[in-house]
Amino acid sequence: MSDAPGQDESFFRSGWVSAPAGIKEIDPAQLAPGFRAAGIACGLKGGGKTDVGLLVCDAERVDSALVLTRNASAAAPIRVCREVVDQDHVRAAVINSGNANAETGEKGFADALAMSERAADALGLETEQVAVAETGVIGVPMPMSAVLPGIEQAAKHLSGDGGAVFADSIMTTDRWPKRVTLEVDGVTLSAQAKGGGMIQPNMATLLCFVQTDAVIENPGAALTRAVDASFNRITVDGQMSTNDTVLLQATGASGKPLPAGLLDAVLLQLAIEVIRDGEGAHRVGLVRVEGAADRAEAEWVARAIANSNLVKTALYGRDPNWGRIAQAAGAALAGAEMDEIGSDSIDAAELGEDSTEAEIGLRLSRGDARAHVYFSDLGHEYVTLNAEYTT
């Protein structure tokens, strides 16, 4: 799990994702028609790594939607997207990695707005047409003397096959880029994402950008539904980020509707790739809880299990210890009147199997509600990486 997935593997390689029929996977460097992207290095991450990305739609009108973090301490770029950007008609996005521009006060807001303004100038757009996304270390001022010229340079390198370098430019602790381009029923969809740690709904230390030439009548509803079933179904470490951003852009140039289930399947596979690449992760798990009193209870129990360090280390160590699952569920239901959770209520056999994916099942006897959560294991590498993150 330390290396990137093989380039000859199908994008939809998880057994938990059902891809629509007729999909053709093409070079993920190639963006959907009408989109261009670039990525350059301006020193935020060091070592010559790309860290400023630029994405633009050449169509004069594009239908778009943004889903942003609910963290009360939202970063400056989130505030710009909420307060300045026309979320229904985003033509472009400017992104940096290596600095979150979070907890940076009004100066941080001014810096994020300046990034949007500089990108707009370079692209011949209005500021409200340019979304801003940033990811990296919290509480550090933005080095604007490097970022603003970097945006101008990125604008000179925009290309329809810039998906690969763009995906590289948004990574932080990721071990591999998450990107895909698909064709199905005359529609093309491309997507790029990043995410490693601080992964917990609502969303994650997660950025995701989706481009398509499909017709989408209500992008906001489509994106919200797909995010709820994917990025809001995952956890690496139970921490909610200040910077989560998902952007969907649709030109409608194909004249055809988005194939049913395509966006949902792509975002779910990207979400699983994020936890598969969770900081130091080796295995991923799926918790299914059924028989809860209501949906909220099912969610609470599923997340308690998925975020339990004891369960996560059992996943890492391939230890089918069902007692840890019972403990986590019981703690989540503390004070409730219920039957004892015994081994006959829990299916934890896959925890002990020699596979990269494991499914856990828990059956309560409190009602008919159910919920599920995808999660990653917890091993030595997570502690090492986060103990040394800024040093």
Pair 148, 260 in one domain: yes
Q: Which pLDDT does position 136 carry in this prediction?
A: 87
Token pair, residue 78, equals 């989130």
Pair 301, 253 in one domain: no
> What gap in Å lies between CA 306 and CA 319, rounded to an integer?
15
Q: Which pLDDT does position 200 carry in this prediction?
A: 42
Confidence grade of residue 2 (pLDDT, cut at 50, 70, 90): very low
CATH of the domain at 174: 3.60.70.12
Residue that is last in its domain, among 240, 270, 300: 270
- pLDDT above 90 as % of the chain: 76
Instruction: Report phi then psi at 149, rounded to 5.
Output: -65, -30
Pair 123, 29 in one domain: yes
Q: Which pLDDT does position 196 carry in this prediction?
A: 63
Residue 35 has pLDDT above 60, yes or no: yes
Confidence grade of residue 8 (pLDDT, cut at 50, 70, 90): low
Q: How many domains does the chain have?
A: 2
Residue that is last in its domain, among 242, 270, 298: 270
CA distances from 185 to 212, 221, 254 (A): 13, 22, 10
| Domain membership flag for residue 186 | yes
Are the CB atoms for 32 and 166 separated by under 8 Å?
A: no
Pair 369, 220 in one domain: no
Residue that is last in its domain, among 270, 294, 311: 270
Pair 251, 179 in one domain: yes
Pair 300, 247 in one domain: no
Count of beta carbons in the 10 Å neighbourhood of residue 305: 28
> What gap in Å lies between CA 361 and CA 110, rounded to an integer?
48
Average pLDDT in the 333-362 region?
Answer: 91
Omega of the bond leading into 202 within 30 degrees of 0 (cis): yes
Confidence grade of residue 1 (pLDDT, cut at 50, 70, 90): very low
Q: Which pLDDT does position 203 carry in this prediction?
A: 38
The torsion region of residue 82 among left (phi > 0), alpha (psi -120 to 50) and beta comes to: alpha
Pair 258, 292 in one domain: no
Average pLDDT in the 138-157 region?
Answer: 95
Instruction: Specify which residues 55 forms β-bridges with.
Output: 37, 93
Confidence grade of residue 111 (pLDDT, cut at 50, 70, 90): very high
Pair 179, 65 in one domain: yes
| Domain membership flag for residue 9 | no
Confidence grade of residue 3 (pLDDT, cut at 50, 70, 90): very low
Radius of gyration for the alpha carbons in the chain, expressed in angstroms and rounded: 21
Are the CB atoms for 172 and 386 separated by under 8 Å?
A: no
Average pLDDT in the 275-291 region?
Answer: 89
Pair 264, 357 in one domain: no
- pLDDT above 70 as % of the chain: 94
Q: Which pLDDT does position 222 carry in this prediction?
A: 97
Give the domain range for residue 205: 24-270
Count of beta carbons in the 10 Å neighbourhood of residue 15: 11
Average pLDDT in the 363-390 region?
Answer: 85
Pair 222, 312 in one domain: no
Average pLDDT in the 312-328 region?
Answer: 94
- What's the chain's average pLDDT? 91
Confidence grade of residue 267 (pLDDT, cut at 50, 70, 90): very high
Q: Which pLDDT does position 239 carry in this prediction?
A: 63
Query: 15, 63, 26: which is closest to 258 by C-alpha?
Result: 63
Average pLDDT in the 241-254 region?
Answer: 94
Catalytic residue among 205, 212, 235, 242: 205
Count of beta carbons in the 10 Å neighbourhood of residue 112: 26
Pair 122, 179 in one domain: yes
Average pLDDT in the 146-163 region?
Answer: 97
Q: Which pLDDT does position 141 carry in this prediction?
A: 93
| Domain membership flag for residue 14 | no
Look up 205 and say whether it is catalytic.
yes
| Domain membership flag for residue 218 | yes
| Domain membership flag for residue 8 | no
| Domain membership flag for residue 12 | no
| Domain membership flag for residue 214 | yes
Residue 204 has pLDDT above 70, yes or no: no
| Domain membership flag for residue 102 | yes
Lowest-pLDDT range of 268-272, 325-329, 380-384: 380-384
Pair 144, 192 in one domain: yes
